[in-house]
Amino acid sequence: MSQAQNRPKVGLFATCLVDLFRPSVGFSSAKLIEEAGCDVHVPIAQTCCGQPAYNSGDTKDTRDLARQVIEQFEGFDYVVAPSGSCSAMLKKHYPDLFKGDPLWEERCRRFADKVFELVSFLADVRGMSQVKARLDKSVTYHDSCSGLRELGIAKQPRQLLATVEGLELKEMAGSDVCCGFGGTFCVKYPDISGKIVSKKTATIAESGADILLAGDMGCLMNMAGKLKREGSTIEVRHVAEVLAGMTDGRPIAGSGK
């Protein structure tokens, strides 16, 4: 068997926010997955993972979306998403949707076993210990709730960021504290969400870092919006862009220092 035939086939679940607002994260993810020795495939029929419907109690529509996602991705060796939130939905919550279903329970379990968040996949599954990237700036990293609490992602991004040439990591106080996004939470409770993100942006500024990084577009857009309204120059980027060395494009927010 040739070396090319031994490369695992990865289905890249791009996520709605990456597809619609930040495609560069998808391209950065594909580059990193290929550098980890895998072939990347992006099914064009992929849609939302169903998390907004799930969080709103719409179980029927969530199941319909889940079946479509499983059908699109179950043929790959791995399913990887540049989002702790969407990955947790696919890996942790999909199985609950089909408990007791004679047609889908086992099929969903096999699918869920293949699902990984991007940085966790690179470090934990593929054993990536360093990246080929350079960035002569300081960064601070926000731990998203789903990635940290549902998938145990904390050390992996920091270990890989430490290998980016020229980069300095400046930890913010309370990096594991919610940014106030929470999916539909920020819509249901905008006043509370606004107060939470105000505290978060204060700690980001206090870190003195040039760039804010995280692994979830929802969190990043929430914090970027607040930083922009405050007139901050702190750049906001997805961690995949830095790890892939693809930071030539405009940041989500901020002009840098």
With beta carbons less than 8 A apart as the criterion, state whether 203 and 223 touch.
no
List pLDDT tens digits, range 50-97. 999 999 999 999 999 999 999 999 999 999 999 999 999 999 999 999
List pLDDT tens digits, range 132-191. 999 999 999 999 999 999 999 999 999 999 999 999 999 999 999 999 998 888 888 999
The whole-number pLDDT of residue 242 equals: 98
Residues in the chain: 257
> How large is the greatest C-alpha to C-alpha distance in the chain, in angstroms?
59
* Residues linked to residue 168 through DSSP beta bridges, in sequence order: 138
Q: Comparing C-alpha atoms, which of 41, 211, 25, 239 is closest to residue 133? A: 239
1 has pLDDT over 60: no
The model's pTM is: 0.94
4 has pLDDT over 80: no
Distances (CA, A) of 119 to 47, 188, 208: 22, 30, 25
Distances (CA, A) of 155 to 92, 105, 162, 193, 241: 20, 32, 11, 27, 18
